[in-house]
Amino acid sequence: MGDKLPEPHASSSPAVAASAEAEEIEVLDSEDVLPMAAEDHWKALFDQFDPDNTGYISTEKFRSLLQRHGSELDPHKLEVLLALADSNSEGRICYQDFVNLMSNKRSNSFRQAILQGNRRLCSKALLEETGLSLSQRLIRHVAYETLPREIDRKWYYDSYTCCPPPWFMITITIVEVAFFLYNGVVLDRFVLQVSHPLYLKNALLYHPQLRAQAWRYLTYIFMHAGIEHLGLNVVLQLLVGVPLEMVHGAARISFVYVAGVVAGSLAVSVADMRAPVVGSSGGVYALVSAHLANIVMNWSGMKCQFKLLRMAVALICMSFEFGRAVWLRFHPSAYPPCPHPSFMAHLGGVMVGITLGVVILRNYEQRLQDQTLWWIFLSIYVIFVLFAIFWNIFAYSLLDLKLPPPP
């Protein structure tokens, strides 16, 4: 601890000049700046260069720090930090940028914004930007709808190119509507299709007697009880799923959606063993539950307008759809002794949303494999899937359950 950093140039910002009036600041030993150190250690390091707690240090001191300890940093992080120092026209570095780059943040969009010089990420908030085009206002709106931190919103705003577009949610919605229209023509019924005597003969829905046909655990999402069922699911997955896919990408959002779908059908096979299941509610409830939970957990940071009212509306819609499913399940069946489709898929989707879904949405631009909660919830999900598979193989015969005949 004996090395001194040089004094800042006279042209530095007022905040840096104020810092220069203090005593010369010592550099922490190399063991205090390991890239995996806790945030309080990074704060202690930064405070060494910012005794007035302005939140900034001079680019000169910042560059000296990188030169001294660059060998201990990930080469990719070092590249981005040097680009940040070289491109900063204000003569100072923001502490928040430093912390986010040191906390295993994937920095592709940040690097792109710095190297292309599109904007200074430490400038005013996005809501204060003026003269934006319609597409830019849409991107800004999506950022405020889904991300709780301003720096993440700025990084997303700078990097989003709509290439690829949110294809997954749009494609799955089109396919669901197409299958519904086809079934409506074949059955000559669009309202409460599920009450048609031939409804269960479709090869896509899940039926307990046909549970060995593994594709049914996924393809049941293309069958809906009626237009009232399809309509609410489509509205929710477009209003919530498309913005989430624009921000988090098709891979992550499709994973949450499909995991909710599989959990939904498996939950029915375990908890409501005699009932079939139809509809995309498992995937939809996984996405919506994850989004609502993320808003609640980051309430102060979420800047979407009328968030309390909109959460109430979303919960009312979900409750209405769930109530419809419960009523239908216990309504006298149109094809006895087989009951109407189960509502347990909704609950399976919710459980996926508040576990795996929340971890994904809370870690924008971060590697999931670095998150302990991700591995915990993923392990629980895998254990549940394996348990449900063994349950479907052995429990039905051991319990001597009388199932409805195959359609």
Active site residues: 281, 346
Q: How far is CA 371 from the centre of its chain?
A: 14
Cβ–Cβ under 8 Å, residues 253 and 245? yes
- Of 112, 109, 223, nearest to 177 by C-alpha is 223
CB-side exposure of 226: number of CA atoms within 13 Å?
Answer: 14
- Both tokens of 234, joined, read 């489509």
Local structure of residue 200 (DSSP, 8 states)? G
- Residues 275 and 327: beta-carbon distance below 8 Å: no
Q: How far apart are CA 20 and CA 9, in angstroms?
A: 9
Rounded distance between C-alpha atoms, residue 32 and residue 265, angstroms: 50
Burial classification of residue 74, based on how many CB atoms lie within 10 Å of its CB (0-12 exposed, 13-18 middle, 19 or more buried) = middle
Nearest Cα to Cα of residue 6 among 304, 285, 20, 77: 20
